[in-house]
Amino acid sequence: MRSVILLAVTSVCLFAQESLKFEVASVKTRPPDSLITMIGASPSGTRLAIEAMSLSDLIAWAYNVKPWQIAGGPAWAGIQRDRTTLDGARRFDITAKAGGDATRSTDDFRQMLQALLMDRFHLAFHRESRDIPVYALVLDKGGVKFHESKPETKGILRMNGAGRITSSGATMTQLAGWFSNANGVERPVIDQTGLTGHYDFTLTWSNTLTNATDSSDPSIFTAMPEQLGLKLEPKRLPVEVLVIDRAETPSEN
């Protein structure tokens, strides 16, 4: 009897996983010279609209990982190398609808996009741990110089110019993500502050990786300790990476 029950439960779980597929989906390749005004995924109700995303972008969204956690694959996939996307990356527009009328969660859409990537792009990958150079976001010796947000404050980081951000209830994970391979930092940033709350703060720095910044402002490595009581500490850390074993350009329909 116990074996029968286990078999029934397993069958239900497999059916639930298999059902998380789009009812209909259209995949179109963007012309190389097309004007791109927006990049991203917009889930709503039973529909998911994706604009101008590379295969690397699609994998990152579907599996909820950072672009720098993806390796391997063909040049057209747009895998990041040293902060830059490889030349020749192809971008895709996808419109898809889940079956039924019930509103789907973001996690549902992620799983459905995973199925679409395997079906239409013939995506295959494996996970492995790699030691890579990163910056650990840690507490400076003087301690933090900001305060926790009020409970009703939303977790938002806003860019105000090329080298200024304002936090309204953002987390340290959000802050670390803001500077991973971007905004004046040439490595992935991993949050190791141990701070788990939501915080309000303003940070101003000179973004040396762009030309649209005030050079009189401090570098991010000076601004972090002075303004926030945090610092970026260079380390090599083991990070889980998704290594693409196979990917093909999809047939369009």
Q: How far apart are CA 8 and CA 250, in angstroms?
A: 36
pLDDT at position 214? 52
> What is the full DSSP assignment across 71-91?
EES-GGG--EETTEEPTT--E
Give rounded-to-5 percent helix, strand, coil for the chain.
Answer: 25, 35, 40
Does residue 208 share a domain with residue 140? yes
The neighbour count for residue 143, using CB atoms within 10 Å, is 8
Residues 36 and 96 in one domain: yes
Q: Whole domain around residue 43: which residue ranges?
A: 12-121
- Write the pLDDT tens digit of every residue in 30-57: 988 887 777 889 999 999 999 999 999 9
Task: Supply 139's token pair.
Answer: 């507490």
Tell me the CA end-to-end span of the chain in Å, nearest whole number.
Answer: 47
Q: 46, 70, 44: which is closest to 54 by C-alpha?
A: 70
What is the pTM for the complete model shown? 0.72
58: part of which helix (H) or strand (E)? helix 55-63
The structural domain count of the chain equals 2
Confidence band, pLDDT 50/70/90 cuts, at residue 208: low
On whether residue 145 sits in a domain, the answer given is yes
Asked if 108 and 163 sit in the same domain, the reply is no
Residues 116 and 185 in one domain: no
Q: Tell me the pLDDT band of 231, cut-offs 50, 70 and 90.
A: very high
Co-location of 195 and 231 in the same domain = yes
Q: What is the phi/psi pair of residue 8, to 5°? A: -65, -45
List pLDDT tens digits, range 120-153.
Answer: 999 999 999 999 999 999 999 989 999 999 888 8
In a domain, 245, yes or no: no
Please report the pLDDT score of residue 211 as a whole number.
45
Cα gap 139→230, rounded to integer Å: 5
